Chains A and B, each alone.
Chain A
Amino acid sequence: MNQYDGRKITIILIVCVIAIIYVVRLFFLQVVNSTWKEQATALTEEEIPLYPPRGIIYDRTGKMLVTNQTVYNLMVVPKKAGEFDTTSLCKLLRIKKEDIDNLFARARARGEFHRPQLLVEQITPSDYAAMSEQLYKYKGFFAESRTLRVYPQSVGALFLGDVGKISPEEYKKNPYYTKQEYLGKSGIEKAYEQELRGVKGINYAFRDNVGNIKEHAGDKEDMPATPGTDLICTMDADLQVYGEKLMQNKRGCIVAIEPSTGEILAMVSAPTYDPNLLVGRVRGHNFNVLNTDPQKPLFNRATQAQYRPGSIFKLAQSLTALQTGAITPQTRIHCNRGVIGCHGGHSNDDLEMAIVHSCNPYFREVMHRVVEADRDGSSRFKDARLGLEIWQGYIMQFGFGTDVHCDIPGVKTGSVPGVKFYDKWYGKEQWAFSTIYSLSIGEGEMLVTPLQMCNMACVIANKGWYVPPHTVKQIGLGGMPREEYMKRYQLGIDSSHFTTVINAMEKVLQPGGTAWRAAPKDIVVCGKTGTVQNAGGKEDHAVFICFAPKENPKIAVAVYTENAGFGGTWSAPVATLMIEQYLNDSIAESSKAREKTILDANFLDR
């Protein structure tokens, strides 16, 4: 024993103190603090999304309208490529040697030499099959599959809508998507995005320190993708094709709806384009071309164009007046052309004939009686306020000033001016009926969309109710439409009031009516012509709405032909040809001449 034997304890103490410090540190690193685990996960884990195939869309007869096509993107990891036979590879891929050189140089400049680079985009399956037999020889080259939308019928571009890369705003709003994802941008593709897209799956993978992705061997279970739901849409492809043909060389639109169900049978916005133009490699270029086209082919005139309603609005006026008791079907009003003009030889029509003749003074007085009905005797200004409120309520029941609960994205509501509007415009109690009378004949501050016009035709065909117009008939083959498209919207107008209006509409297509030349043989069509005046001295817009047959109507149609002139001449034949095509599946010999006139007409330069 000597004086230094106690130092053993000191040394053991030093060892133990250090060990305790280390163990405590380890405890904090491993057990207490979870940020290290988060960092490890962020570094090493990669969630590879598995994209399900998007749902297929069929027309109401089962024709495939939208489907998916697999294409292949040829990728290369420059670092892995090493030495290879450039000449034969270029021949195989049908590219130039410079393409590869440029790509490699670019990758090197960006410091992405070890990451996959896109060499050839969207190779078709048949081309890829030929290539793949040779491709294995080239190290670092591989193909990635992607699906694109294809439109076998090449119709209904705006009806079906398109699919495009997610925008920053959409990305911010919807956490489901990643920054690179594609989603429905318009039409059915957008409205039924949730059904069509299915549910993404997740493939958990590892990323190593240089960015290579490895299959996951860990504990997290991969999630398979759920394929998108197929849809049967309300469109009749043959009718849509025919409608697009009729509207060639014209600006305007056609909306056709089955009145009993609200199903949109056809929706043409002219000029139209082949939806296949906005797919894949050519999308960017074609989108620019279409977007800058002065004829605005990307603008859905059926749902987004807001026109003044014109004479067709007289139908809604008649029904409103009948319901409020302002007139009866027998009410005769003198055609006093002093305040407002008229046309044709008539002087003292009843309601039915006033509709047939589209008598302006008659309907001016009709609305006068609705709006100023002596509800407040103290002042006609106060009286007009009360009357207009009631009038607006009825008009909006037709769907005017609303989106008609339609499922098409971006439908415009138009506008039905009311008390608030005129109070703001002229000042409170500064206006009376005499100020706003142009509303009575569908001019003035009133704006409607062709879709709303067709909806009004449905209301009349159904004698007082409508099902909101919609584009999808079955969600999932054999499924149901959305719930809101299985119930009726009942207007507060008695069905008896419709008889006079319908009889008048029938007469419009009989000899002496404004559209009698457009009447097809053997089908009783009820319609109303309209001609919407246009600012700037251009030719009027030709408008026509109708439904057929008179008993148990199967189809309602609204047609707008911009700058074409008289509605009975240019829009009515389009509508009746559509009806013939839909009801008979063919065009009768007797209608061929009319068809030719329409097909030959060209209003694009007006």
Chain B
Amino acid sequence: MSAPRQHPLANVDWLTVIVYGIMVLFGWMNIYSAAVVDINPSPFDISQEYGKQFMFILISAFLALLVLYMEGEFFNKFAIFIYGTFILLLGLVLIIGTTVNGAKAWIQIGGFALQPAEFAKIGVGLMLAKYISNTKTRFNSWKPRFMAGLIIGLPAVLILLQPDVGSLLTFVAFILALYREGLSGNILIIGLGAVVFGVLSIITGFNRINYPFFGEQSGVFVLMTIVFVIGVIFMFLIRNFIVPRNRRKLYLITFLSTAAAIGFSYSVNFLVDGVLQKHQKTRIYVTLGLEEKEEDREAMLSDAESADAAAVTTKKKDDPGYNARMAKIAVGNGGLIGQGYMKGPMSKNKYVPERWTDFIFSVISEEWGFFGSFAVVALFVFLIVRIINMAERQRSQFSRIYGYCVASIFFLHLLINVGMVIGLAPIIGIPLPFMSYGGSSLMGFTLLLFIFLRLDAERLSVFR
């Protein structure tokens, strides 16, 4: 820490700032389109979502400038303090928070409500960066794994208590950053394998099968039997084809993984069938394509033609399968070049649910077409890759880790939010960064990004 302080805005990565600006303004444009129904009032009307969003943009711009004028060192030094503050806020919200949509997630301040969960990611990112850069861990022992788990897990548990499953899920993103810092790749592979096997378990468990002797039971037992048989076959293969000195270890691995697979399969099924509430269960089934089959679609269409379409529509509004389908129809209706700004029939006629928040992407897709939706995905990929590249050029490990946390979080939001709209992910209510309506999320993501830009601007003056 020696060289004379340069102008604070020198060395800032302006390309990223420009991409950020494009995303925010494009998002605001589409929030306006999504929220305006009949006449076209001023986009600055503060009583409306788009007017509020404009205000959030101004506040975010102010916060961004503020961060850029601060010293990057501050975030390193006060990482624990920032993390602690957000943990406190997450605790506080459980006591004094207001409940919206079943989640006690909001702290009311004057006329506005803040959602601490949207800011907590910043704290976790900074804290992880601080912990790893201080201990120089490579995650090859249990202690750092446990500590990292604790840093992520503490806010996650508090968020689960609200409960806000969507925000909780975004914490998975940090695993990607940990992977970069040496967390075994097997964890990623095992994780992926668990997802595939879990999906298989749910699909087989969805069917009821009439077993001999046991009567009607969940179909998951078929899967478990198959896994067991494969395990036994492996045992025989090992006995016949492997030299004796290696057998013991392989027996153990086969036995443990077979048992783990059976246990995992059963517990996933138990979780879905026994623990989750009906609507959550339905969401999972809808995503996996187990419910709302082709007949239902045809029935819905013929209903739509009949006089009572409206009644049917109202009835189906709260059904996640209906929402998923409406979002997908809106996306498909965009075509190559879109229906035109402010002209999307599915969006303007309110078929798309939550269209200025979580489903803003379907509004964009309908009105701007494949060109628009492709451009949004491309912008995000550009941003994420650019952040990763910037992270790699950091001399400070702290900055690099934090950069990866930022990229991972944007990636996970893109993965889930866009995936949900196009029917490749379950309906989980998390915002599309910079584009969805919402003060907390816009401010949170802005801070998240600009702290990294600040750190990056100082990369040359930081020795380590």
Contacts and interface: CB of A to CB of B under 8 A. Distances in A.
Given A43-B304, A43-B329, A210-B314, A16 B381 contact: yes
Contacts of B348: 206
A23 B185 CA distance: 27
Given A36-B331, A45-B345, A207 B309 contact: yes
Contacts of A19: 377-378, 380-381, 414
B333 A36 contact: yes
A4 B424 contact: no
Interface range, A side: 35 or more
Interface in A191-222: 206-212, 214, 217-218
A35 interface: yes
Contact of B180 (A7, A22, A25): A7
B329 A36 contact: yes
A218 B301 CA distance: 22
Interface string B321-344: 000000011111111100000010
A211 B310 contact: yes
Given A22-B418, A209-B313, A209-B351, A37 B182 contact: no
A26 B388 contact: no
B351 to A, nearest CB: 5
A29 B331 contact: yes
Contact of A209 (B317, B328, B332, B335): B317
B346 interface: yes
A112 interface: yes
B289 interface: no
Nearest to A43: B304
Given A11-B388, A30-B369, A21 B424 contact: yes
B311 A22 contact: no
A571 B261 CA distance: 102
A129 interface: no
Interface in B168-198: 176, 179-182, 185
Interface in A21-41: 21-23, 25-27, 29-31, 33, 35-37, 39-41
B351 A26 contact: no
B150 interface: no
A8 interface: yes
A332 interface: no
A535 interface: no
Contacts of A210: 310, 313-314, 350
Contact of B332 (A18, A30, A45, A208): A30
A30 B335 contact: yes
Contacts of A115: 307-308, 310-311
Contact of A39 (B301, B384, B388): B301
A11 B310 contact: no
B149 interface: no
A18 B331 contact: no
A171 to B, nearest CB: 15
Pick from A12, A21, A22, A208 the residue with the most CB of B within 10 Å. Answer: A22
Contacts of B309: 43, 207, 211
A40 B346 contact: yes
Contact of B301 (A10, A21, A42, A111): A42
A26 B422 contact: yes
- Classify the interface of chain B: helix, strand, loop or mixed: helix
Contacts of A586: none
- Classify the interface of chain A: helix, strand, loop or mixed: helix
A29 B325 CA distance: 12
Interface string B413-431: 0110011001110000000
B311 A29 contact: no
Nearest to B311: A111
Given A12-B385, A22-B422, A208-B350, A7 B179 contact: yes
B370 interface: yes
B411 interface: yes
Given A11-B388, A40-B330, A22 B424 contact: yes
B374 interface: yes
Interface in B393-425: 404, 407, 411, 414-415, 418-419, 422-424
Contacts of A39: 297, 301, 329, 332
Contacts of B381: 15-16, 19
Contacts of B308: 111-112, 115
Nearest to A33: B332
Contacts of B138: 4
A26 B370 contact: yes
B373 interface: yes
A26 B365 contact: yes
Contact of A40 (B317, B333, B388, B424): B333
Nearest to B332: A36
A22 B328 contact: no
B379 to A, nearest CB: 11
A30 B370 contact: yes
B385 A15 contact: yes
Contacts of B350: 208-210
B180 A4 contact: yes
A209 to B, nearest CB: 5
A208 B180 contact: no
A8 B388 CA distance: 7
B273 interface: no
A181 to B, nearest CB: 15
Interface string B364-375: 010001100110
A209 B329 contact: no
B333 A218 contact: no
Contacts of A40: 329-330, 332-333, 345-346
Contact of B370 (A21, A31, A208): A31
Interface in B419-445: 419, 422-424
Contacts of B334: 30
Given A30-B370, A42-B305, A115-B307, A206 B313 contact: no
Contacts of B329: 36, 39-40, 43
B42 interface: no
B349 interface: yes
Contacts of B404: 11
A114 interface: yes
A201 B418 CA distance: 42
A132 interface: no
Interface in B70-122: none
A44 interface: yes
A208 B350 CA distance: 6
Contacts of B378: 19
Contacts of A8: 180, 388, 392
B332 A218 contact: no
A98 B181 CA distance: 77
Interface in A96-140: 111-112, 114-115
Nearest to A30: B370
A23 B418 CA distance: 10
A44 B346 contact: yes
Contacts of B373: 26, 30
Contact of A44 (B181, B317, B349): B349
Given A11-B179, A44-B349, A209-B350, A37 B385 contact: no
A441 B440 CA distance: 104
B181 A4 contact: yes
Interface string B235-266: 00000000000000000000000000000000
Nearest to B314: A210
Contacts of B343: 217-218
Contact of B365 (A30, A207, A212): A30
B345 A18 contact: no
Given A15-B385, A26-B377, A31-B335, 8 more contacts: A4-B138, A26-B373, A29-B328, A29-B422, A30-B365, A37-B335, A111-B308, A211-B309
By Cβ-Cβ distance, the 9 closest A-B pairs, closest first, are A36-B332, A211-B310, A40-B333, A44-B345, A208-B349, A111-B311, A30-B370, A209-B350, A19-B381
12 contacts: A11-B179, A18-B414, A23-B377, A30-B332, A30-B370, A36-B332, A112-B308, A207-B349, A209-B313, A209-B351, A210-B350, A211-B309
